Structure 1
Amino acid sequence: MDQPAPDPPDLPDRFEPIELFGKGGGSEVWHCRDHVLDRDVAVKVLRPGRRRWVRTAFRDEAALTARAAGEHTVGVLDAQYDRRHGGQPYLAMEFLDGYTLHHRLMFGGALPVDQAAATAARIADAVATAHEAGVLHRDVKPANVMLTKQGAVKLIDFGYGAAKDNAAAVDDVSGTPGYMAPDKAQAMRSTPGALLRKPPPASERDDLYALGVVLYEMVIGKPAFVGKPKQKLKAQVKGDLPRLSQVVPGVPPELDALVASLTAKDPAERPGSAAAVRDRLTDIAKNAPHRIVGVYGPLRQAMAAGATIPPGTSLSGIAADLPVPPLFPPTYSDLRGQLAPEAPGRGPATPHAAPAAGAAKAPSLDGAVGGASMSVAATGYGAVGSRSKPAPHSAHRRGEATRGQASAQDRGAARGEVDRRLPGPADGIGN
């Protein structure tokens, strides 16, 4: 049964809506044509009837994204969040055609060592630019890194961002389990000990820890922390992340040492700045081997084991008949016109069609396809999922534990971070 076409947003005449990327509890992202700038753009639109704090958060996200502008950060082109001007509040951003680093890892798994270092250097440059502008990202993860067909690497979604000079914001605990710094993971855990200890304010070194985990995953080809959100938080607090050299062979010693310092539990043991990390990674990338030392992604592994892409999904016509399982996810332009609206606050629906008989890893394949079938920049632009109202400071740790876990589920973390978005073979990433 065909779904009714979504109502177009109430936008200025300069923006011509083309297609709905995705929608969450409080916002939608549309592919639009900007007739003033004569270019395609992604427009995030706040739905009518949102509470004041939601509108304030929307305004802050737009301001922080613009403030953190740089070569490797998604660009802001226009914004409006004052209803007195009429229409819906919106945030217009550059249009990115590609897929997320998360989807790249789901499909192809580990990157060659030199390309992992080069990609991380670009992410570090985006983080450094944001820090120099006084902005903390606080949610650096593969799902928030876009790789475009044009070869760009872009850090996206500043929805959890905070200005360093905003004391109330940096005291707030936000992020995604598995990527937030261990002291913040401890604060988010709903345990008596966590509730009694106030975490230190957010800092630049929290973003560096997350960058270290992302680099770790690019090299080994799988998540550093697995399980449900609470299990990830516990592992980050109680466990020790094995060194790269203990997990995969052939890792350059200088890369092994850098990742170990980035993911140190003690913030004082991490590097002093993202700019310094960027420079070190750039040097490492020049001398690192062009060799994959990690594993293939779960989708590629499942297909190699005999599983097939469920029929009726947007990927079935793209990759099902390929003699070799796909290494790269489809981009938005591959899926153009095949995107279906999502249920509010839930992310893309997992296909209900049963996989081929004997597919040993059918759940992993279904999950991967479920995420990739909305491989547009929906969550990357921050549309999918809804953010809970920030807890009062007196209920800081308990309130934030609830907020963080709920947001993680809404944005896909509880489902293995299967989300929907874009990049392409940036600098041959994954080749």
Structure 2
Amino acid sequence: MRRGLRRFGRYAEPVVPGTSLKDRYRLGRFPLAHKGMGEVWPAQDTLLDRAVIVKFVNAAKPDVDLVRRFRREALLTARLDHPGVPAIYDLGKHAGQPYVVLQKIDGITLTDLIGEQGPLPPGWAAAIGAQICAVLLAARQIGLVHRDIKPSNVMLDTSGAVKVLDFGLAVVRDDDRYSRITLTGHALGTVGYMAPEQVLGEPTDHRTDLYGLGATLFDLLTGSPPFDEVTTTTTLRRQIDGPPPRPTQLRPGIPDELDDLVHTLLAIDPRDRPATAADVYTVLAPFCHDLPPIPGVLTDTAGAVRAYAAIVGRVPPHTRPTATTTAEPTPLDVGLAAKQAEQLHAAGEYRAAARQWRHLAAQHARQHGDDDPLVFDFRLGVARAHRALGEHSRASRLFQELLEDRARAEGAEHPAVLRLRQEIAHLSEEPSPPAPRQPS
């Protein structure tokens, strides 16, 4: 009997070191990894004299459906033309065994990055998250949902640029070629990172990937997964039952805006998450300046900043900072924005109201100074929104900081200062809600 694996009505010879594909791609000495449905080899493109990666269908699992999904992933990855996604160079078969040739990434997965470095500086977590947002925005433009955003599916290369990997679970809206996938015996996602709607078998959309982004940001900021219970069942139950965790529960000192963002991204109901990746990018972008070196990972910080700028440069123009966005807003613009915040608060959208007031406070402070009365008013709105959310500890801290700053600026007997003292006294008399459960 002929040696080899009989597959798909013919024999497929085992892949060996030095194998030449199409007289062009020469495999290296050892495979890099065995992951999921593929076997990954380093190779050399002898025609263009460059290093590449060749991924084969796992020969140990002869399955027609596996081959279909393998080809499907390659076509989806190639369809998403973006610098934050590895380029697909070629697709073919060798002795009956399908393979794909793709760009070699000189870098490290976020899983390994966190394992080596621990929690990242908030600026780097934001820079990585902003680049993922750029990929998700491009994906949404073609109706694609990745459905498996997690640290092991994202790489940071030596220049600081991010690559999103593994589109094996992706679907494309309104396209039957890519809208269905069969994974016998496999979960459609990764426990702890897949959104509650995936766990429950409900429809998914772009907000499903925002949940995965939130879980990834939590990992980057704290060094730990957001949901890490003893068993799969208890992990899934905690994801579905809530409340979503906050990075500050594990790492105090994370900026409020990032803490709020991650908490909101991990909302159980997709409708409670940010509307789009552009909204998430807008929150992350201001933190992406003066990125510190990451020893042993980046070749140079200046290159990292250039690479980061190249990736986020692919964000749609309306989400990028421009000369007009830094201009001083007119009183009418500020008034309308403040009114919107008040309407959100009145409608019970306290988290959104807090974000709006916080943005107004920061913007107005840049133009008129921290002690401008309107800045104090906007900060007061933020504190009241967190009080309405039942986050008494955080609200108390915000009220106290505001009291100290306003007393310094306007005097201890100013009417606004006296009213603040009364509000703080009332807050201290209110019963605090039960604290959210901590990871066991």
When normalised by structure 1's length, the TM-score is 0.59
1:147-226 mapped onto 2 (5 Å cutoff): 147-166=156-175, 168-169=179-180, 174-185=188-199, 187=200, 199-226=201-228
AA matched with 2:127: A
Q: Does 1:39 align with 2:50?
A: yes
What is residue 125 of structure 1 aligned with on the other side? 134
Q: 1:24 to 1:113 in 2, by over 3 A?
A: closer
* 2:288 match: secondary structure: helix
What is residue 28 of structure 2 aligned with on the other side? 18
Distance, in Å, in 2 between the alignment partners of 1:141 and 1:25 is 15
Deviations along 1:191-232, one digit per CA (max 9) or x if unpaired, are xxxxxxxx3311110100010111111111111111333332
What is residue 137 of structure 1 aligned with on the other side? 146
Instruction: Give the CA deviation at 1:171.
Output: 10
What is residue 97 of structure 1 aligned with on the other side? 106
AA matched with 1:55: V
Q: Which runs of no fewer than 5 residues in structure 1 stay unpaired?
A: 188-198, 292-325, 332-431
Deviations along 1:263-319, one digit per CA (max 9) or x if unpaired, are 1111001111113322331123349x979xxxxxxxxxxxxxxxxxxxxxxxxxxxx
Contact 1:138 1:161 in 2 (8 A): yes
Distance, in Å, in 2 between the alignment partners of 1:25 and 1:204 is 24
Instruction: Give the CA deviation at 1:124.
Output: 1.4
Q: Does 1:116 align with 2:132?
A: no
What is residue 76 of structure 1 aligned with on the other side? 88
Q: 1:24 to 1:104 in 2, by over 3 A?
A: closer
Q: Whose helix proportion is higher, 1 or 2? A: 2
Contact 2:65 2:182 in 1 (8 A): no
What is residue 69 of structure 2 aligned with on the other side? 57
Q: CA RMSD in A?
A: 2.9
Contact 1:104 1:327 in 2 (8 A): no
AA matched with 1:175: G
Contact 1:104 1:328 in 2 (8 A): no
1:361-380 mapped onto 2 (5 Å cutoff): none
What is residue 259 of structure 1 aligned with on the other side? 262
Instruction: Give the CA deviation at 1:180.
Output: 0.6
Distance, in Å, in 2 between the alignment partners of 1:18 and 1:170 is 32
Q: Does 1:273 align with 2:276?
A: yes
Deviations along 1:38-63, one digit per CA (max 9) or x if unpaired, are 21000101245722111110110001
The higher-RCO structure (CA 8 Å, 6+ apart) is 1
When normalised by structure 2's length, the TM-score is 0.58
Contact 1:73 1:156 in 2 (8 A): yes
What is residue 251 of structure 2 aligned with on the other side? 248
Q: Which runs of no fewer than 5 residues in structure 2 stay unpaired?
A: 1-13, 300-440
Q: 1:183 to 1:24 in 2, by over 3 A?
A: closer
1:340-351 mapped onto 2 (5 Å cutoff): none
* 1:89 match: secondary structure: strand
Q: 1:72 to 1:24 in 2, by over 3 A?
A: closer
* 1:120 match: secondary structure: helix
Distance, in Å, in 2 between the alignment partners of 1:275 and 1:59 is 30
Structure showing greater Rg: 2
Distance, in Å, in 1 between the alignment partners of 2:182 and 2:34 is 29
Q: Mean Cα displacement is larger for which, 135-144 or 5-14?
A: 5-14
Contact 1:67 1:135 in 2 (8 A): no
Distance, in Å, in 1 between the alignment partners of 2:298 and 2:127 is 22
Distance, in Å, in 2 between the alignment partners of 1:170 and 1:34 is 32
* 1:258 match: secondary structure: helix
Contact 1:124 1:278 in 2 (8 A): yes
What is residue 382 of structure 1 aligned with on the other side? none
* 2:42 match: secondary structure: strand
* 2:71 match: secondary structure: helix
* 2:167 match: secondary structure: coil
What is residue 349 of structure 2 aligned with on the other side? none
Q: 1:256 to 1:171 in 2, by over 3 A?
A: farther
What is residue 67 of structure 1 aligned with on the other side? 79
Q: 1:25 to 1:10 in 2, by over 3 A?
A: farther
Count of matched residue positions in the alignment of Structure 1 and Structure 2: 277
* 2:125 match: secondary structure: helix
Provide the identity percentage: 37
AA matched with 1:162: V
Instruction: Give the CA deviation at 1:329.
Output: 7.6
Q: 1:115 to 1:330 in 2, by over 3 A?
A: closer
